[in-house]
Chains A and B, each alone.
Chain A
Amino acid sequence: MDATVGVAYSRIRRDEKLLLSALRERGHTVEKIDVRKQRFGLESNEALESVDVLVDRCLATSRSRYLTQFAESYGVPVVNRAETADVCADKVKTSLALSDAGVPTPETTVAFTTEAALEAIESFGYPCVLKPVVGSWGRLMAKVDSRSAAEAVLEHKATLGHYEHSIFYVQEFVEKPGRDIRVVAVDGEPVAAMTRSSAHWLTNAAQGAEVAPFEPDERARELVARASEAVGGGLLGVDLMETGDDYTVHEVNHTVEFKALNDAVEVDVPAAVVDWLESVVGGTADADETVGDADEAAGDADEAVGDADGMDRDTERAERQSPGTLETGGD
């Protein structure tokens, strides 16, 4: 099945190039949509009208959150969904979602003032970690080793300007074995995984960590599936740390980068992502057909409205936004 896949971007990284190549190799029509040039009305956006599915590859989290909401409002299936983007874009929301779902995640305290944050830090003891609630690639993460360091970092954060820096997200420091684990998963099913190792306490690939293939065991797979479900599913990068006899999930990424993973493992990651996208589009098309047939049988006058698939707008929105529509795909 050839589909028209919209790829929303503001920068074409190597990840996007890999994805674009994989989509074109399968014969899909790719519409590259530079979100910097788009205007989103409450009813429609011209660039999104012709796509069967929209893949959100926005580099900016803020754009990603709004783009996905507009797409869903227009009835355009979007990967990942707005709910997922909203939860994953915010570390507080992610921590709450994981905790609510019973997924092991580092102990976390949030405070709204430097005084309360300092109390939280003292309560954790040293070292502990201060993270921005929105951010990536390990930027502005602080491992706090002493009270004087805590006071300095909190003062700096309080003067950074953006209100989000005054939401103080304090977390236990997890003694990991010099590495963490990145699993790229589609609706909770691992595509591939790697370890990221570094002598530095930050082990992000973007910070220069060394990567190596990793085979998730049963427990890791279970946690990836549960973490995925907790944030709304989709194409995700789930990060885990080993804690001796178990794992803890410390992050879930919704516009996951996979170039480092693709280099590290035998699996063709972009091809596997396209496999899954095809199932998403397939599921949506199946649902469209079903609804279209029902409308035809009822003999209503949808054609006169000029709707190409014979569905009225509200029905289309409801069908396309249904979680089941996205998750029961498959040719």
Chain B
Amino acid sequence: MVECIECGAALTLHDDVETGEIVDCGTCGAELEVIAVDPVEVDTAPELQQDWGE
């Protein structure tokens, strides 16, 4: 359980969550990046850049 840094809602994440993973806040829709897993911490996810892709 971690708090959304945008709206403060409680987020429940999967047990296998990875640092670097992006999760959506189900309440406000914010994209959050998992920056630590023990304990879980989230930050605002980086904005999409032009050269992102595969």
Identify the A interface with B (CB < 8 A): 9-13, 16-17, 20-21, 32, 34, 59-62, 132, 134-137, 139-140, 162, 237, 253-257
Contact = CB atoms under 8 A, between A and B. Distances in A.
Contacts of B19: 12, 32, 34
A259 to B, nearest CB: 11
Contacts of B33: 11
Nearest to A63: B51
A135 B20 contact: no
B54 A255 contact: yes
Interface string B9-53: 000000010111110000000000110000000000110011111
Given A253-B54, A255-B54, A256-B54, A60 B49 contact: yes
Main secondary structure of the interface of B (DSSP, over half): loop
A10 B20 contact: yes
B54 A135 contact: no
A11 B53 contact: no
A17 B23 CA distance: 13
B54 A257 contact: yes
From B21, B51, B52, name the one whose CB has the most chain A CB atoms within 10 angstroms.
B51
B50 A162 contact: yes
A166 B43 CA distance: 35
A13 B53 CA distance: 11
A260 B53 CA distance: 14
Nearest to A15: B54
Contact of A9 (B16, B20, B50): B20
Sorted nearest first, the 9 A-B pairs with minimum C-beta distance are A136-B53, A12-B20, A61-B51, A12-B21, A257-B54, A253-B54, A12-B18, A59-B52, A137-B53
